[in-house]
Amino acid sequence: MEDYIPLKIAITGMSTLAAEALTLHNNIPQGKLSEGDQMLISALQASNPAYEPLDTTVLYALHTAREAVAQANWHDLRFGINIGSSRGATALFEKNYSHFLAEGTCQTLASPTTTLGNISTWVAQDLGNQGFELSHSITCSTALHGIANAIAWLESGMEQRFLVGGSEAPLTPFTIAQVKALKIYSSLPLPYPCRAMDMTKKQSTMVLGEGAGCFCLEKGERTNALAYIVGIGFATEKLTHSVSLSKNGDCLQTSMQRALASAGNPKIDAIITHCTGTIKGDQAELNAIEAVFGDEKPLLTNNKWQHGHTYGASGALNLAMAVRMLQNNRFEPIPYLPPPESIPDKLQHILINAVGFGGNGISVVVSR
């Protein structure tokens, strides 16, 4: 990672599912899919009897994978698949465990429908694919680590195309209770209960959201490329606490530096941060950005205020936001923060970050 080796990975297909805005459910702010998107997922589940017992995490991946592959025109072509999730089949785990506590027995499909590998294997079944399949979890940076895996496979020549992404459906009572136990779940009112990157906040303001994102990746120039991945870097820092970054986001400093180096140190026009709305986590990432960029700090933005924190899918939603900003040549600001004093005439390079429990950070440079 220290030497500059040109990297150019084309994004030829892309699809996401995410909340359009945060809403209240049982008086708890959440990033819940719109009624229209929920109807699409229900129709998908009803379209095949084999899909009836599947967790929504798998169904979200199926939907976005189908759309991305169609856009890339990969019909009847072999490709690898790496779609991960931080939590996996959360709702089914809770449902099956409740049944076990009540009845003392497990339902027949409890085991096969709650394995993490369900995601990529079902996507492969749905698309009739014969390429390599992998599902993984490395907490909130899962989707971007999938991109790192795909790049390695593409560069090695073991696959010519790779479908990557992340999917998460964490809006369950137990998962929300876990975040509340950490005392970081937001109690602020709508419309912006998540105040990611607002460093005037007096309390942590994480809000959970559900969603997914899938991308079709191919090596080199492509006439149908939506954008290009031109740099990637990753790092792990020594833990001082099981759920928090070091004060200055050491792993993110290193991942950003490595991503910039692998891209040939281009001028970065904007950074889409991982900031989830917690006081310490947000400050750590902003400190890391300050340490890396100093006085030449790019524009900063974030999407947790709109989608909530989608755990393993959050990096995918950041990547989609970067592609959209590049395609539209339009910076997307955070509505509750002061607008930037100036915006580049042309957005050329955008850096995206993700970081997860365990001190792992990953950064990706996306270009036109």
- Listed residue (342, 276, 329) closest to 307, CA to CA: 276
Q: Where in the chain is the domain with CATH 3.40.47.10?
A: 13-219, 227-367
- In the chain, the DSSP E strands lie at 9-18, 23-25, 28-30, 80-84, 133-134, 161-168, 211-219, 227-236, 270-272, 299-301, 349-356, 360-367
Q: Find out whether 208 and 30 touch, Cβ atoms under 8 Å.
A: yes
Q: Where are the beta strands (DSSP E) in 3-142?
A: 9-18, 23-25, 28-30, 80-84, 133-134
- Say if strands 299-301 and 9-18 run parallel, antiparallel, or are unpaired: unpaired
Q: Which residues of 317-328 are buried (b: 16+ CB within 10 A; e: fewer)?
A: bbbbbbbebbee
Q: What digits encode the pLDDT tens for the residues 173-200?
A: 999 999 999 999 999 999 999 999 999 9
* Backbone CA torsion sign across 240, 310, 116, 171: positive
The pTM score is: 0.95
Pick one of 3.30.300.180, 3.40.47.10, 3.30.420.40, 3.40.50.300 as the CATH number of 13-219: 3.40.47.10
CB of 173 closer than 8 Å to CB of 103: no
Which is the CATH superfamily of the domain at 227-367? Thiolase/Chalcone synthase (3.40.47.10)
> Which helix or strand (DSSP H or E) is residue 136 part of?
none
Count CB atoms within 10 A of the CB of residue 179: 18
Rounded-to-integer distance, Cα 246 and Cα 238, Å? 8
Whether the upstream peptide bond of residue 191 has omega within 30° of 0, thus cis, is: yes
Greatest CA separation for the chain: 64
Integer Cα distance of 163 and 326 in angstroms: 21
pLDDT tens for the 368 residues of the chain, in order: 455 568 999 999 999 999 999 999 999 999 999 999 999 999 999 999 999 999 999 999 999 999 999 999 999 999 999 999 998 889 888 888 888 899 999 988 888 888 877 899 999 999 999 999 999 999 899 999 999 999 999 999 999 999 999 999 999 999 999 999 999 999 999 999 999 999 999 999 999 999 999 999 999 999 999 999 999 999 998 887 666 688 899 999 999 999 999 999 999 999 999 999 999 999 999 999 999 999 899 999 999 999 999 999 999 999 999 999 999 999 999 999 999 999 999 999 999 999 988 889 999 999 99
Q: What is the DSSP letter of 124?
A: H
